Structure 1
């Protein structure tokens, strides 16, 4: 997809405020759950416009965990911007993926950044990594995962899956925003695909070859349930200031 192109220092793969946010992505929803499995663009601080019926969006967790409206409990935590709402009780059936087919992204940037909002439901995203020898591995981060685990493939054609925990700041801790930027340094994850310690107790029997140096990212896949603002790749880590338009601008406290 991008493997044969000149790649700038920063590549924005997804922006919820762009003219065609999902132009590079495929999407899937659970057809058996039309009221609770959908993907929809809305304004974060108002949760409007509502999606077409029969879809019923959940609201973000309130500051005090009461049943009051979001506007009275999360002032200052929300964004005054359009975001992508991805919702479903079945994570594996509801997601966006880039590329939409089986081709490779081909992005060589070592840093991945994802801006997401915790919606109080299980949430997961994954990224496919390729080393210089062409070996492929999948890294998945999930809010329900308690400790790192490596799932070995059952055959030589399946990639190993490194499953890592993901957590967001608790609303009760009164963070400045309910949004978070998750940053991954992709080259440091490749050696874990060969870890016998992380694979202990898993079902897979095939031991993958040792992974070499990072080459590129093959795909990015974001599952329900979350709100998503931006996905980008960069040559520099969080120590370097991101462009101003990548920053999170919250609603004012009232």
Structure 2
């Protein structure tokens, strides 16, 4: 049997009616056939799943995608919640600012711009004086600065330069206070001083003592150096209109010569 050897074909045997077999002299009509992969390769392809990816791997990828989308959704919810809180805070902030600023206008030192008499009379009487720097002090009744630094006198309280008094022009309950700071040179155990606050009242010839203190024993034993000491007085007192309040010190020459070391003031309660 002659055939094109470049294309292999299976041998074909022709069986006649007599039961004999012989090679066909002619090439029979051939039926095309297709080659199939081996059985093992077909099994591997079936086991490979969709698009060559195993079902377990596809399930893992699906779970990862779901986890990513869930995280994104949670972050979006958190951002929306924070934005809502910020909007609420902006709405509440102006009300809190108004509530906080109102008391400041009531208790602060405020001068009305229009200068109306009614608003000026509503200012609470108060004064704060600081020590006047003087080289020679002869009077035990101290003089003060009323317009230097933090010193002031408002609400009808008047400072009298000639005698160092604070005069009140309104009857009421006042808190009166005074502090003195002294530097004793060649301080020794017997050193001492007195600090007092008194008032002069119309119709009373003698002054009325409001507060008094006697300090001693503040110097160490066998000391020949300078020593700084201080004393503070403060309490509430009923004052009458036109009362004049003063401060006395027994050793004015030992004052520390500091604006803020010694001070004197009062305010209506």
TM-score (norm 2): 0.30
Counting helix residues as a fraction of each chain, which structure ranks higher?
2
Larger radius of gyration: 2
TM-score (norm 1): 0.32
Higher relative contact order (CA 8 A, sep 6+): 1
